[in-house]
Amino acid sequence: MSAAALLIRSWRGVSGCWAPGAGIRRLSSIADPEIKVCVIGSGPAGFYTAQHLLKHHKSTVVDIYEKLPIPFGLVRFGVAPDHPEVKNVINVFTQTAHLSRCSFYGNVTVGKDVSIEELKQAYHVLVLSYGAETNRILGIPGENLPGVYSGRAFVGWYNGLPENRNKTDITANSLEAIENSKVKRVIIVGRRGPLQVAFTIKELREMMKLPGTRSLLDPNDFEGLKHVVKDLPRPRKRLMELLIKTALENNSGKEAEFQAAATKEWSLRFRRSPLEIIPSNDGERVGGIRLSVTKLEGSAESAVAIQTEDVEDLECGLVLSSIGYKSHPIDPSVPFDQQQGVIPNKLGRVLHAPGMYCSGWVKRGPVGVIANTMNDGFETAESVLEDVQSGILDVSALKGGYKVIEALLKQRGICPVSFSGWEKIDSSEVTKGEKVGKPREKLLTVKEMLEVANQ
């Protein structure tokens, strides 16, 4: 295997924000009817939507369904192990789950164990917050060769996602694999240029401070950009200033010594678009990648990459495609835009589906960080509350809620995991982690999780 890895990145910015607190509804009176709400998906979008509903309507009862036995979605499975501070939001979600009007039911797959139609009969409101669980594909020859993986699968592997466990809190097996890795050189490829990068200055600084690792930036990529930087928004300006300084200014002193002593390196390769994964000589796995040199049309973040006739071949033994996640349709009865990979909606109201709402990535696409998802969840919750108050959403009929669904699941041999069951799993993981000096040692199979939850 070549001691080089390639990461294909899409330079896409994040935009759009909803002001939290805008249009907050009054707290309901004691005479208001009980509203039974079903939230599908227990990631940040689901919990933030539930939190807002419970806070601003005291007759709301929320049941959160999750296909895994454990909650929190990408907070658990998508945040890098060396960023534990980001996971502190779990404490807020736990407070919500402990409320008497909120229940968690894990190990229940909507669309398989219970249908959307059955949930509609049992609840006044359905909120679809199941995120983006599939990968966008490159759509090029050789993409299925061994040694080509999606960024989602790679992250799931080191974070202990059950479906990717054999590839955390980094898991012990992935930590051992990374420590013994032969990868010495990583090339990060993007279709566009420096002005369109999607990473943050914090992420860049962390990369530059990796022990024993040098950063290589081509000065030609940054020539002539200094005059553009002064007019950029402050976060983008600071990021570009750091990139330009690193690329154009000669290192000296301790920094030069650090660079010279490095045994590994990473670099950014701009204006390149993948054309083909090249197999190794024996044809058994990836041996390289063929890239099209692109040119940009337009300016700043709106610039579009256009392929030219120039090509470039890079040797590598591992290819990671980090071009985004994609949502999937959960049920034929739920409207879905296949091209955009989202549920068509207006402020979270699913179009042509009264009583059905959506939040998070399945609502707006797989962009943004947890703060964006919080605002998004609040916006959807506000739409629900507005519809209740205006009478657009009829909540006068009595609904059975989980009691109805519980009977169906029992008939089908499905054993849901409660939040207290999750807390048994949590306690077990933390105890195992303490023995090896880690925050937790994750359980890696659904079977293990269920055994602990049912003790």
Length of the chain counted residue by residue = 455
Shared domain for 203 and 229, answered yes or no, is: yes
Q: Dihedral of CA 218/224/228/229: which sign?
A: positive
Q: Predicted confidence band at 25 (pLDDT cuts at 50, 70, 90)?
A: very low
Q: Average the pLDDT over each of 138-142, 311-315, 349-353 and give the range with the smallest value.
A: 138-142
Shared domain for 387 and 313, answered yes or no, is: no
The predicted pLDDT at position 249 comes to 72
Shared domain for 298 and 330, answered yes or no, is: no
Shared domain for 88 and 169, answered yes or no, is: no
Shared domain for 116 and 220, answered yes or no, is: no
Shared domain for 167 and 302, answered yes or no, is: yes
Q: Which two tokens mark 80?
A: 């890098």
Question: pTM for this one?
Answer: 0.73
Is residue 311 domain-resident? yes
Q: Predicted confidence band at 255 (pLDDT cuts at 50, 70, 90)?
A: low
Average pLDDT over residues 348-367: 93
Is residue 209 domain-resident? yes
Containing structural domain, residue 90: 35-133+326-416
Shared domain for 311 and 333, answered yes or no, is: no
The most confident of 86-95, 162-171, 376-385, by mean pLDDT? 376-385
The predicted pLDDT at position 18 comes to 40
Calculate the average pLDDT of the chain: 85
Per-residue burial over 301-324, b if 16 or more Cβ lie within 10 Å, else e, is: bebebeeeeeeeebebbbbbbbbb
For the stretch 63-102, pLDDT in tens is 999 999 999 987 776 565 556 566 678 889 999 999 999 9
User: Could you tell me whether strands 125-128 and 356-358 are parallel, antiparallel, or unpaired per DSSP bridges?
Assistant: parallel
Is residue 454 domain-resident? no
Of 402, 433, 387, nearest to 122 by C-alpha is 402
Shared domain for 275 and 299, answered yes or no, is: yes
Residue 64 DSSP one-character state: E
The predicted pLDDT at position 374 comes to 93
d(CA 13, CA 129): 23
Shared domain for 178 and 64, answered yes or no, is: no
Shared domain for 336 and 379, answered yes or no, is: yes
d(CA 417, CA 69): 6
Q: What percent of the chain has pLDDT over 70?
A: 84
Is residue 29 domain-resident? no
Is residue 22 domain-resident? no
Is residue 20 domain-resident? no
Is residue 440 domain-resident? no
Is residue 350 domain-resident? yes
**Which residue, of 323, 347, 382, is where some domain finishes?**
323
Q: Which two tokens mark 28?
A: 């309901």
Residue 291 DSSP one-character state: E
For residue 420, is pLDDT > 80? yes
Count of domains for the chain: 2
**Which residue, of 275, 295, 323, is where some domain finishes?**
323
d(CA 143, CA 149): 9
CATH number at residue 238: 3.50.50.60
Shared domain for 67 and 119, answered yes or no, is: yes
Shared domain for 340 and 300, answered yes or no, is: no
